[in-house]
Amino acid sequence: MASRIPLIVAVAGLCALAAPPLSAANKDIERLQLQISALQGQIIDLQRLAEENAKEMRRLNEMLAEQTATSRKALQDRRVQDEAISAGLKDILERMADIQDRVDTAARAASAPPPGDGGITGPAAGPLTPAGTPSGAPAQPAPGAPAPRELYSQAYADYARGNFDLAIQEYMEYLRNYPDTDLSDNAQYWIGECYYSKQKYAEAIDAWNELFRQFPASDKLPDARFKKGMALERLGRRSQALIEYRYVVERYPNSEAGRKAREKLSP
């Protein structure tokens, strides 16, 4: 029995020596588990933050899209309003000029000498056209034709609403009744725009070519040349479109059409 006591003491000592490393390993495992839990929590927080950021981005994109649509509508409304105002001002100027012509005619008639005894004389009539109208006389509107401002404004309103066929008819009616007003060139230009909106690009080009022939001094020429280039591109005639863009840049460099044409020519 006495011989076993040292053996027991030795075994106990060895167990005491082996216990600290095992306890330390358990503590390391616990620390690793805590770190893993902390990392998992951080990952969950990052995922939640990413989802919130994605929602915020979607909200901002929706707001931007709504603001863009509102701005486009406001620009379109402003364009319609500006065209209507321009038509009204030009109509007023035409009426003032007509009134002035009547006043001048009345003044000349009042100051004219009385006719001689040889018979009644008067202004010599110019040569008559086949229709019986003096060749130098301006075309007269058809009986019952709407007033220029009313007809033009209605045509543009139909264009703005997307009633392109009706707008084309009204612009053509305007040109038949009022071929030589300040808005005649505008009417011819918008016929081309109507055809372009209908994707009838060849007809649009024909309408703008007619504008170039009939109204070579029109302020609509830069826009018409640029839009003709766009129509040519739509028809796959890129080389001809580039010719139109270069023409606009060289002839109207400071116009809005010139700026757009430069963008088309940029690589």
Amino acid, res. 161: R
69 in a domain, yes or no? no
Q: What confidence score (pLDDT) does residue 28 get? A: 82
List the CATH number of the domain containing 93: 1.25.40.10
Q: For residue 128, list its beta bridge partners.
A: 134
Where in the sequence is the domain holding 170, given as residue range(s)? Answer: 78-107+143-265
Asked if residue 240 has pLDDT above 80, the reply is yes
Residues 245-252, mean pLDDT to the nearest whole number:
96
Q: What is the pLDDT of residue 115?
A: 40
Domain annotation covers residue 12: no
In a domain, 250, yes or no: yes
Count structural domains, the chain.
Answer: 1
Residues 6+ apart with CB under 8 A from 248: 222, 225, 226, 229, 255, 257, 258, 261
Q: How many CB atoms lie within 10 A of CB 155?
A: 27
* Token pair recorded at residue 237: 């005639």
What digits encode the pLDDT tens for the residues 57-100?
888 888 888 777 777 777 766 766 666 676 556 556 555 655 65
Given a cut of 60, whether residue 113 has pLDDT beyond it is no
Contact (CB, 8 A) for 211 and 188: yes
CA separation for the pair 238, 244 (Å, rounded): 10
| pLDDT score for 142 | 57
Query: b/e string for 224-254 if b means 16 or more Cβ within 10 A?
Result: bbbbbbbbbbeeebeeebbebbebbbeebee
Q: Which of the residue ranges 10-14, 33-37, 182-186, 189-193 would you say has the lowest mean pLDDT? A: 10-14
The answer as to whether 85 is a domain residue is: yes
Q: For 87-91, 193-197, 203-207, which range has the lowest pLDDT when averaged over its residues?
A: 87-91
pTM here is 0.50
Cα angle vertex 32, ends 30, 37, to 5°? 95
Residue 53 covered by a domain: no
Does residue 28 form part of some domain?
Answer: no
Judge whether 246 lies within some domain. Answer: yes
Q: What pLDDT is stored for residue 69 in this prediction?
A: 72
Torsion of CA 254, 257, 260, 264, to 10 degrees: -110
Q: Residue 207 and residue 100: Cα distance in Å, rounded? A: 34
What pLDDT, on the 0 to 100 scale, is given for residue 162? 94
Is pLDDT larger for residue 15 or for residue 136?
Answer: 15
Does some domain include residue 5?
Answer: no
Quick one: pLDDT band at residue 16, thresholds 50, 70, 90? low
